[in-house]
């Protein structure tokens, strides 16, 4: 709040604040979306720009051209309809927001207060799913929200860690135990001097290999997260002292996410550093009896290790806005819950 969201990542755009409800402080964010904003702070980026940056994955030139034109058209309509003029609550500036256990009971009061204090903005909340609370999306619908598909995410239930019996997990754990010249380092063994390397490992995987529209977390943020335990880090350090792999967990109400993971992509692929990090993570989740929300992407990799797919939703409250402002949200709701949902369920990406 003091340094601004761009101190966390230069492409996270917005004005942060706190709203207290029944003794619980909810982090809120007023949008300030602009070109290149990362998807946690832009619906336009999530539904148009980010898919557009991954068109190279679509097979066939004609299909790519058709998808590209469709996404550009959607992007124009979303921008014209000011879809990113919102105030978001339970916003942690992470790829996956984990919510306080009082989320459901807080919906009416938080929504009313935000709509009253920001009468020209929609009220947004991200990362709504039905894994731990099957009725949660419906609770937002009953409160007047538009609830529409965001992406498909994957869960590992460490309370009943049957995934540890999977042959793929057993193989990964065996290779981790046999990994030479590396040792596991815990959060307490890391300090601010490691922050630049940690940020670089994340950048190599999420920004350089995937997309600059992922949050571009800074070394300054990593240093603060290490010092103040905003995230809990674990890694793999080479015998030379060089840190070559890292992941970090964010925990809330018996659930954990991994918004931060990276490894040195210049090292030989047969080292399997990503698989080693995942095996460390799954062991940790099982030992602590936590539920892991392992976000989206790499669906086949995660399913082969016992992950359970679950649709995630965004929820937008716009009943206090004028009709022309509601039109873009209505379009997004129809497309996301129609062809968008059918695509995700058919492909389990």
What is the H or E stretch that residue 232 is in?
A: strand 232-238
Q: What is the average pLDDT value for the chain, to the nearest integer?
A: 94
Is the same domain home to 31 and 100? yes
Look at residue 40 and give its three-state secondary structure. Answer: helix
Please state the rounded mean pLDDT for residues 179-183.
95
pLDDT above 80 (res 132): yes
pLDDT above 90 (res 308): yes
Look at residue 274 and give its three-state secondary structure. Answer: helix
The pLDDT confidence band at residue 252, using thresholds 50, 70 and 90, is very high
Please state the rounded mean pLDDT for residues 147-174.
96
Task: Supply the pLDDT for residue 32.
Answer: 82
pLDDT tens string 70-85: 888 888 889 888 999 9
Look at residue 30 and give its three-state secondary structure. Answer: strand
Is the same domain home to 213 and 271? yes
Please say whether the beta carbons of 290 and 255 come within 8 A: yes
Task: Supply the pLDDT for residue 201.
Answer: 98
Is the same domain home to 186 and 49? no
Is the same domain home to 10 and 144? yes
- Confidence (pTM): 0.94
Task: Supply the pLDDT for residue 64.
Answer: 80
Task: Supply the pLDDT for residue 348.
Answer: 63
Question: Is residue 173 assigned to a domain?
Answer: yes
Question: Is residue 296 assigned to a domain?
Answer: no
Question: Is residue 145 assigned to a domain?
Answer: yes
Report residue 282 CA to chain centroid gap. 18
Question: Is residue 301 assigned to a domain?
Answer: no
Is the same domain home to 12 and 135? yes
Is the same domain home to 147 and 11? yes
| Cross-strand partners of 17 | 28
Q: Which of 266, 267, 210, 256 is nearest to 234 (CA)?
A: 256
Tally of domains within the chain? 2
pLDDT tens string 262-306: 999 999 999 999 999 999 999 999 999 999 999 998 899 999 999
Is the same domain home to 59 and 101? yes
Where do runs of H (alpha helix) occur along 204-297? Answer: 219-228, 273-288
Please say whether the beta carbons of 9 and 298 come within 8 A: no
Looking at the chain, the whole-number percentage of residues with pLDDT higher than 90 is 83
Is the same domain home to 237 and 143? no
Please say whether the beta carbons of 91 and 97 come within 8 A: yes
Helices 167-178 and 273-288, axial angle in degrees (round to 10): 110
Question: Is residue 303 assigned to a domain?
Answer: no
Domain extent, residue 262, equals 159-289
Is the same domain home to 92 and 225? no
Q: Which residues contact 76 (CB under 8 A, 6 or more apart)?
A: none
How far is residue 259's CA from residue 315's CA, in Å, rounded to a whole number? 21
For residue 274, the domain's CATH number is 3.40.630.30
Question: Is residue 297 assigned to a domain?
Answer: no
Task: Supply the pLDDT for residue 93.
Answer: 95
Question: Is residue 295 assigned to a domain?
Answer: no
Please state the rounded mean pLDDT for residues 308-328.
95
pLDDT above 90 (res 65): no
Question: Is residue 306 assigned to a domain?
Answer: no
How far is residue 173's CA from residue 209's CA, in Å, rounded to a whole number? 25
Report residue 265 CA to chain centroid gap. 21
pLDDT above 90 (res 310): yes
The pLDDT confidence band at residue 54, using thresholds 50, 70 and 90, is confident
Task: Supply the pLDDT for residue 33.
Answer: 67
CA angle (74, 80, 85) in 5-degree steps: 105
Please state the rounded mean pLDDT for residues 22-49.
91
Rounded to 10 degrees, what is the CA torsion of 240, 245, 250, 253?
-100
Is the same domain home to 39 and 135? yes
Report residue 231 CA to chain centroid gap. 14
Is the same domain home to 243 and 326? no
pLDDT above 70 (res 168): yes
Is the same domain home to 59 and 174? no
């Amino acid at each position: 709040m003091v340094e601004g969201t761009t101190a966390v990542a230069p492409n996270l755009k917005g004005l942060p604040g706190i709203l207290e409800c029944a003794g619980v402080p909810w982090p809120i964010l007023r949008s300030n979306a602009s070109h290149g904003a990362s998807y946690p702070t832009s619906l336009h980026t999530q539904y148009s720009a980010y898919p557009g940056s991954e068109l190279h994955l679509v097979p066939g030139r004609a299909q790519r051209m058709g998808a590209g034109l469709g996404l550009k058209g959607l992007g124009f309509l979303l921008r014209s309809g000011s879809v990113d003029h919102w105030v978001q609550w339970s916003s942690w500036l992470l790829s996956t927001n984990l919510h306080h256990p009082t989320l459901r009971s807080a919906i009416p009061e938080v929504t009313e207060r935000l709509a009253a204090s920001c009468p020209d903005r929609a009220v947004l909340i991200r990362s709504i799913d039905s894994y731990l609370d099957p009725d949660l999306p419906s609770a937002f619908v009953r409160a007047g929200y538009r609830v529409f598909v965001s992406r498909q995410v994957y869960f590992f239930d460490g309370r009943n860690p049957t995934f540890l019996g999977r042959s793929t997990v057993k193989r990964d754990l065996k290779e981790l135990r046999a990994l030479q010249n590396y040792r596991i380092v815990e959060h307490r063994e890391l300090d601010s001097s490691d922050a630049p390397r940690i940020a670089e490992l994340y950048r190599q995987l999420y920004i350089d290999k995937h997309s600059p529209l992922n949050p571009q977390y800074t070394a300054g943020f990593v240093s603060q997260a290490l010092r103040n335990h905003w995230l809990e880090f674990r890694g793999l350090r080479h015998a030379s002292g060089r840190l070559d792999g890292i992941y970090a967990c964010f925990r809330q109400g018996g659930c954990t996410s991994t918004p931060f993971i990276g490894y040195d992509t210049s090292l030989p692929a047969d080292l399997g550093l990503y698989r080693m990090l995942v095996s460390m993570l799954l062991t940790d989740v099982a030992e602590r009896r936590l539920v892991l929300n392992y976000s989206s992407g790499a669906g086949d990799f995660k399913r082969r290790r016992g992950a359970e797919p679950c649709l995630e939703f965004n929820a937008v409250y716009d009943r206090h806005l004028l009709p022309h402002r509601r039109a873009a949200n209505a379009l997004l709701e129809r497309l996301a819950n129609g062809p968008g949902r059918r695509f995700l369920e058919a492909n389990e990406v």
